[in-house]
């Protein structure tokens, strides 16, 4: 599977940002835990264990939010604030879930739409019908016009907003089923996951969580 350069850069940047965020939260939670004295008391060790336990809880929250994002899409963001009140943790979990959803669908979609795979699929029972669905869609003039219209005018906006609605999993699947421009979608979808969903998380937190 070929990975778009911008998408790869965005993924690496997310990994670095996530690592920095983990360290920052851990350092802040443990600040002042160890004294500058030459020995470490039992109380100091208990504080460190407590900080480590808190870090494990935070990591667990991120994984729960990521799983929610994969299963229910954008609806996971409001629900995620019942798990934690931290917008940073919600954003990280939601971003990881969105990217995992996208990568799974892209991997499967690239295999299904591959010509070699299509030829193999035609030779199997029932596979010919599945292959014909994609072939007929590519040859249909009305479908081609709709694809061209969406690619020119709506795909970028759709890709940017898809992390909020209807979710990355459904959106990426739709792009492959409808035969839309995958490169444009991937480029703008990564921006939507990293930036637009982050803005939405912060606005939701500011409006409904912080004030309560």
Determine the length of the chain: 212
What is the residue whose two structure tokens read 């995992």? 100
Long-range Cβ contacts of 89-92 (<8 Å, 24+ apart):
89/58, 89/61, 89/62, 89/65, 90/65, 90/201, 90/205, 91/197, 91/198, 91/201, 91/202, 92/18, 92/21, 92/62, 92/65
Q: How far is CA 33 from CA 19, 55, 63, in A?
A: 21, 14, 27
DSSP 74: G
More confident residue, 28 or 168: 168
Q: Given this model, what pLDDT does residue 3 score?
A: 45
Does the pLDDT at position 112 exceed 70?
Answer: yes
Does the pLDDT at position 85 exceed 60?
Answer: yes
- The stretch 120-125 carries a mean pLDDT of 67
d(CA 4, CA 22): 27
Q: Taking the model in full, what pTM does it have?
A: 0.70
Does the pLDDT at position 116 exceed 50?
Answer: yes
pLDDT band for position 77 (cuts 50, 70, 90)? very high
């Amino acid at each position: 599977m070929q990975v778009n350069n911008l998408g790869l850069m965005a993924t690496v940047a997310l990994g670095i940002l996530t690592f920095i965020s983990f360290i920052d939260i851990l350092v802040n939670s443990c600040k002042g835990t160890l004294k500058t004295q030459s020995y470490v008391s039992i109380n100091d060790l208990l504080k460190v264990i407590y900080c480590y336990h808190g870090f494990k809880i935070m990591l667990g929250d991120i994984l729960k939010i990521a799983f929610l994002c994969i299963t229910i899409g954008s609806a996971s963001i409001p629900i995620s604030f019942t798990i934690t009140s931290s917008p940073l943790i919600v954003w990280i979990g939601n971003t990881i879930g969105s990217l995992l959803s996208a990568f799974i669908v892209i991997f499967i979609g690239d295999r299904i739409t591959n010509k070699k795979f299509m030829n193999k699929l035609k030779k199997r029972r029932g596979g010919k019908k599945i292959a014909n669905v994609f072939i007929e869609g590519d040859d249909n003039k009305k479908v081609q016009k709709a694809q061209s219209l969406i690619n020119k005018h709506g795909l970028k906006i759709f890709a940017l907003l898809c992390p909020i609605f209807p979710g990355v999993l459904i959106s990426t699947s739709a792009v492959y089923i409808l035969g839309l421009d995958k490169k444009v979608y991937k480029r703008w979808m990564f921006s939507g996951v990293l930036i637009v969903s982050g803005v939405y998380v912060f606005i939701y937190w500011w409006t409904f969580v912080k004030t309560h």
